[in-house]
Amino acid sequence: MTEYTVEFVGTGETITVSDKQTILKACIEEGIAQEYSCRVGMCLACSAEILEGDVTQPAARGLTDEEAERFALTCMARPQSDLKLDRGVYPPSIEGDAATAGTAADDD
């Protein structure tokens, strides 16, 4: 098991997360107010932008391959290096869903 430092920019919070643990689980254990909902990689509520470092998140089904390069779903993501993350930053596809829903409502 390897442990990495995960820093949340803007808040100054830093935690240690093992490569066997999800970032969300470590946040909950450390009392960090990371948003989440589904905890199965679908809703994007737990998203964070990856500013530095690498994660593995093969089960992050809510992200496109391109988004998974830049965003971590913390409920699924395990660190592969020290990380700098910006919590509460969402991938463009979440905006697309909202826009589509709005358009559908307007058509009714």
Task: Report the interface residues with ligand FES, using CB under 6 A.
Answer: 36-39, 41-46, 62, 73, 75
Question: Nearest approach, Cβ of 107 to ligand FES (angstroms)?
Answer: 28
Report the residue number, 43 or 103, with the smaller CB distance to ligand FES: 43
Report the residue number, 15 or 74, with the smaller CB distance to ligand FES: 74
3-state secondary structure of 69: helix
Instruction: Please give the full DSSP string across 41-54, using - where no structure is assigned.
Output: SSS-TTEEEEEES-
Report the residue number, 43 or 51, with the smaller CB distance to ligand FES: 43
Q: Which residue is nearest to ligand FES (CB)?
A: 75
The answer to whether the beta carbons of residues 28 and 34 sit under 8 Å apart is yes
Residue 6 to residues 26, 60, 76, 100, 103, Cα–Cα distance (Å): 10, 19, 15, 34, 39
Question: Nearest approach, Cβ of 61 to ligand FES (angstroms)?
Answer: 8
